Chains A and B, each alone.
Chain A
Amino acid sequence: MKRYASLIVFFISILLAGYGLFTNEANILWQKAITICLSCIGIG
């Protein structure tokens, strides 16, 4: 099993990313990223 660890993690990651894309998480990330993050810049 250990021999295939990288492949297993790779395919699980594809599934996760695919699920995220399917449930619109990339757009949610985009919405966050196009507004100024007040926490990041240290004023809110």
Chain B
Amino acid sequence: MGRHRKLTQFLSLLIGNLYLLPWRESPIFQGATKRICFPGLNCYSCPAATMSCPLGGLQNALADFRANLMLGVFHPGAYIIGTLGLIGSVLGRIPCGWLCPFGLFQEILFASPFKKIALPRFLRYGPFFFLIFFVILFPLLLVDSLGYGQTFFCKYVCPAGTFEAGIPLSIMEKDIRGAIGLLFYYKFTLLIAIVLWCLVTSRAFCRSICPLGAIFGLFNRISMVKLRFNKDNCVECKACYKICPTDISFFDNIDNINSPACIRCMKCYKICPTHSINLVFEPILKENKENFQEN
């Protein structure tokens, strides 16, 4: 399963960034597939990106919401919210563990031989903070005189934008290179800090910052695909806890097996010696059975 997951992650990276033509006319891809939301953090300003980042799209929709209303147009970002809901209601946070290119990048970084540091538990609330303030409230409420807001998460936080778009575009385009200022240096420093953090802490960005993970995480407990844990079979060897990249501890009931923090990488499923963990597809929840942790 580990190899399958890596293969899926690399395939997703390739499909989401397939515009690698050397004879390109525009610095970024402008094809029809950019109408599709990519189920992971993949900046649409990346020169190779073939799809749209749902976080960027959602912030843009909310930033323009009031100005559009003043013009008598109602565009609340329903297409993006609906797409995220569709993915989340079926898969929960599976895209985080299997499809997200920035998740793959963090896993590669964490494979480094540096001493590892655990993430404090309270930082699990970080993604919800960034989702509520930087993705929803600030773009919606902090607007100019014409009613237009800004994409605050993209502008002040997102390291994927700097890594996938800022750096390559500033190398490729002379005009962009000339416009580099304080904001770019701030974002570059932030990117370096996050990279260094990811070298020592597993999935540090996903667990403490990523608002897209927070959105998909909200669906983990109700999604059609979910994890099941049979406590009767469990011998409490802690193998699942030791291998979990997000430090979820469900064998001792500290966390739920379908916790919003779970990225569903399925490492626990693979390592469990007693096969106490299962992945099930349940569009309609079955009645709670004794010893089966469901919700």
Contacts and interface: CB of A to CB of B under 8 A. Distances in A.
B111 interface: no
Interface in A24-38: 25-30, 32-34, 36-37
B176 A41 contact: yes
A34 B89 contact: no
Nearest to A27: B35
Contacts of B214: none
Contacts of A15: 82
B284 interface: yes
Contact of A5 (B29, B34, B285): B285
Contact of B34 (A14, A20, A29): A29
B28 interface: yes
Interface in A1-21: 2-7, 9-10, 12-21
Given A4-B284, A7-B283, A40 B79 contact: no
Nearest to A3: B285
A32 B179 contact: no
Contacts, number: 167
Interface in B275-295: 282-285, 295
B79 A13 contact: no
B184 A28 contact: no
A20 B35 CA distance: 12
A15 B84 CA distance: 12
B61 A28 contact: yes
B222 interface: yes
A17 B150 CA distance: 23
A25 B75 contact: yes
A21 B223 CA distance: 24
Nearest to B57: A29
Interface of B: 26-30, 32, 34-35, 37, 43-45, 49, 52-53, 56-57, 60-61, 74-75, 77-86, 88-90, 150-151, 154-155, 158, 161-162, 165-166, 169-170, 176, 179-181, 183-184, 186-188, 219, 222-224, 282-285, 295
Given A25-B75, A41-B45, A43-B180, 12 more contacts: A2-B295, A17-B78, A25-B61, A25-B78, A26-B35, A28-B61, A29-B61, A29-B80, A41-B169, A42-B183, A42-B184, A43-B181
